[in-house]
């Protein structure tokens, strides 16, 4: 039931997009993101922005090429989505 207390917990008006992660949500997801490849260079992409881009696509159903420009490039967001989907499938086998 929506109460004034409960409604405040789910208010997303302060976010850029309603699909963006809050700080609390990000703190739960961040530890689950695999580290960069060993021996590779430092990641140059903001992983929170990648997850926000992925959440935007999933929540709006937009096409990959329609991701707004303020997210990382669509190829970057899609590549991480593909990598994480493939890794998850392999771990289920």
Flag whether 74 is in a domain.
yes
Task: For residue 5, name the pLDDT band (cuts at 50, 70, 90).
Answer: confident
d(CA 88, CA 65): 24
**CB neighbour burial string for 3-37, b if at least 16 within 10 angstroms, e if fewer:** eeeeeeeeeeeeeeeebbbeeeeeeeeeeeeeeee
pLDDT score, position 38: 84
Flag whether 79 is in a domain.
yes
Mean local confidence (pLDDT), 3-15: 81
pLDDT score, position 74: 96
Flag whether 41 is in a domain.
no
Flag whether 29 is in a domain.
yes
User: By residue range, what is the domain housing residue 24?
Assistant: 4-33+48-92
Flag whether 43 is in a domain.
no
pLDDT score, position 91: 66
pLDDT score, position 1: 67
Flag whether 10 is in a domain.
yes
d(CA 12, CA 48): 17
**Residue holding tokens 């060993």?**
38
Rounded percentage of the chain residues whose pLDDT exceeds 90: 60
Count of domains in the chain? 1
Query: Measuring CA to CA, which residue among 59, 54, 61 is closest to residue 85?
Result: 54
Task: Kindly report, residue by residue over 49-90, the tens digit of the pLDDT.
Answer: 999 999 999 999 999 999 999 999 999 999 999 998 887 666
23/41: higher pLDDT = 23
């Amino acid at each position: 039931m929506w109460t004034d207390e409960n409604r405040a917990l789910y208010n997303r008006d302060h976010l850029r997009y309603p699909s963006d992660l809050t700080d609390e949500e990000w703190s739960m997801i961040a530890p689950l993101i695999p580290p960069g490849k060993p021996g590779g260079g430092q990641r140059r992409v903001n992983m929170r922005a990648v997850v926000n881009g992925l959440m935007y696509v999933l929540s709006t159903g937009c096409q990959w090429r329609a991701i707004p420009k303020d997210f990382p490039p669509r190829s970057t967001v899609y590549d991480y989505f593909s990598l994480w989907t493939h890794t998850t499938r392999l771990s289920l086998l």
